[in-house]
Amino acid sequence: MQFTFSAAFFALVLAAAAVPTKRAACSNGRTAAHASCCVWFDVLDDIQENLFDGGECGEEVHESLRLTFHDAIGFSPALFFEGKFGGLGADGSIMAHSDVETLFPANNGIDDIVDAQRPFAIAHKVSFGDFIQFAGAVGVSNCAGAPRLEFLAGRLNFSIASPPGLVPDPFDPVDKIVARFADAGFAPNEIVDLLASHTIAAQDHVDPTIPGTPFDSTPSIFDAQFFVETLLVGQTFPGNGSNQGEVVSPLAGEFRLQSDFAIARDPRMACEWQSFIANHGTMTTKFRAAMSKMATLGQIRELLTDCSDVIPVPPTITTKPFLPAGKTLIDVEVACHASPFPTLTAQSGPATSIPPVPPS
């Protein structure tokens, strides 16, 4: 009798679990898993049109993605252990306390995107911490080849200005960068995973005379070209070459950060770096996981609501990484010796030259 009752009970539980959960009705006929996520569809419509220029993978996307990191990395358990305030992570403090944090040297120039985003967050009555991560995820979705990032909502609109010195500089030694990320909870390979963001990034302030200079030759496509070109032998500076944090680039019109150059060749991270060249799926999966981890630094994940279904699905790509025109495998500074360097198709024609992308 007891067996019969238990079997019937579990049958009812399974039957209930099989019934689809009714989704919340949102604006313009859209639905979300949670009613509290509906507001984000309205934010989505607004920022796609008025922040991202109709859904482009452009300068505002680059800067919004940069902002997600600069807000979140302001988190140091080591400082707490020393009895000091170590920041609250992805809490929106860089926007709430922009008069403090945008003055940190490593946050040079980030005040522009902070000022551009703040009115949207206020108008839609969402927290600064949520908005920063949402704008980053939406922006990435505009870039072909990118993963659909997770977005969790529910961060309080309360923050305290982050302590200085927690955002790595491009001229920092690799050991210092690794230690800073370790303090925030990231292993060396996860640094590489996060640096996949540089495939759709550009510099504006390391050399302010040439803003919009990209880090690879396909800055509007989320591909592994950045990981190829960072390993090429350097030949030229796109600007005057006298800037701290910059090293010689392999292509005219392309910018190379000192930190990217060094991490790509560091034995702790070189094989992770090389692995993305041959496997786009691995690169996007690991980038998504690292971004999810970063976006919840200092937060209690279980108290947040998963609103990822509001994030658009990015366009797919079929292209593969290549050797830029004028380059051969001789130009590749292979740093991972545990596995063969991937086979790449070489472009034909004159040497590749990349025109800078002016900020919009």
Per residue in 44-81, pLDDT (tens digit) is 999 999 999 999 999 999 999 999 999 999 999 999 99
Span 319-323, average pLDDT: 94
In a domain, 25, yes or no: no
Q: What is the CATH number of the domain that holds 47?
A: 1.10.520.10
In total, how many domains does the chain have?
1
343 burial class (0-12, 13-18, 19+ CB within 10 angstroms)?
A: exposed
Sign of CA dihedral 323, 324, 328, 329: negative
Cα gap 158→141, rounded to integer Å: 28
Whether residue 141 lies inside any domain: the answer is yes
Instruction: Give the three-class secondary structure for 28.
Output: helix
**What does the buried/exposed string (b/e) look like for 39-76 if buried means 16 or more CB atoms within 10 Å of the residue's CB?**
bbbbbbeebbeebbeeeebbbbbbbbbbbbbbbbbbbb
Residue 333 belongs to some domain of the structure: yes
Question: Is 10 a residue whose pLDDT tops 90?
Answer: no
77 vs 347, higher pLDDT: 77
Check whether 8 has a pLDDT greater than 60. Answer: no
Enter the pTM of the model: 0.90
CA distance linking residue 220 with residue 211, whole number of Å: 16
**Amino acid of residue 168:** P
Please tell me the least confidently modeled range out of 18-27, 171-180, 347-356.
Answer: 347-356
**pLDDT for residue 6:** 52
- Each residue of 204-244: pLDDT tens digit? 999 999 999 999 999 999 999 999 999 999 999 999 888 99
Residues making up the annotated binding site for Ca(2+) are 71, 89, 91, 93, 199, 216, 218, 223
Average pLDDT, the chain: 92
Residue 325 lies in a domain: yes
> Residues 316-338: what's their mean pLDDT?
95
Q: Is residue 2 part of a domain?
A: no
Residue 153: which H helix or E strand, with range?
strand 152-153
Residue 15 lies in a domain: no
Out of 70, 97, 124, 337, pick the active-site residue: 70
- The predicted-structure confidence for 87-142, as pLDDT tens digits, reads as follows 999 999 999 999 999 999 999 999 999 999 999 999 999 999 999 999 999 999 99
Residue 190 banded pLDDT, cuts 50, 70, 90: very high
For the annotated binding site, the residues are 71, 89, 91, 93, 198-199, 216, 218, 223
pLDDT, tens only, 243-256: 999 999 999 999 99
Q: Per the domain annotation, does 255 fall within a domain?
A: yes
Rounded to 5°, angle at Cα 263 from 180 and 114 = 55
Checking if the pLDDT of 179 tops 70, the result is yes
Is the per-residue pLDDT at 19 higher than 80?
Answer: no
Q: Specify the pLDDT at position 158.
A: 93
In the predicted structure, residue 358 carries a pLDDT above the cut 80: no
Does residue 19 lie within any of the structural domains? no
Distances (CA, A) of 95 to 30, 204, 275: 30, 20, 36
DSSP type of residue 332: B
Active-site residue, 70 included: yes
Mean pLDDT across 25-44: 95
Here the tokens at position 64 are: 């919004």
Question: What are phi and psi for residue 209, nearest 5 degrees?
Answer: -80, -15
**Alpha helices of 187-318 — where are they, by DSSP H?**
188-194, 225-229, 258-265, 270-278, 280-295
**Containing structural domain, residue 313:** 33-346
